[in-house]
């Protein structure tokens, strides 16, 4: 049992990279018509404007 846990722990970093790769490939290959609502919203959330707005909001709260 302990060996199984150890092997799983050793495999976990590779597993997370695999998941990220699959998610990236899935979101780029799927068309907007075929994309699920979750994928579409996730893709929209990573726009530079969203990042800029968040950064500006943090800056404004720090200045206050």
**Full-model pTM:** 0.25
Residues 6+ apart with CB under 8 A from 43: 27, 35
Look at residue 53 and tell me whether its pLDDT is greater than 70. yes
Q: Where does the pLDDT of residue 43 fall: very low under 50, low under 70, confident under 90, or very high at 90 and above? A: low
pLDDT at 8: 63
Query: How many degrees, rounded to 5, is the angle at CA 8 between CA 4 and CA 11?
Result: 140
* Lowest mean pLDDT, pick from 23-27, 32-36, 53-57: 32-36
The domains of the chain are located at 2-29+37-63
Q: What DSSP element (H or E) covers 4?
A: helix 2-29
Residue 57 has pLDDT above 70, yes or no: yes
């Amino acid at each position: 049992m302990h060996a199984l846990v150890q092997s799983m722990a050793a495999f976990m970093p590779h597993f997370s990279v695999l998941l990220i790769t699959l998610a990236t490939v899935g979101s780029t290959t799927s068309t907007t018509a075929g994309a699920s609502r979750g994928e579409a919203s996730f893709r929209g959330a990573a726009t530079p404007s969203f990042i800029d707005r968040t950064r500006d909001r943090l800056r404004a709260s720090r200045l206050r």
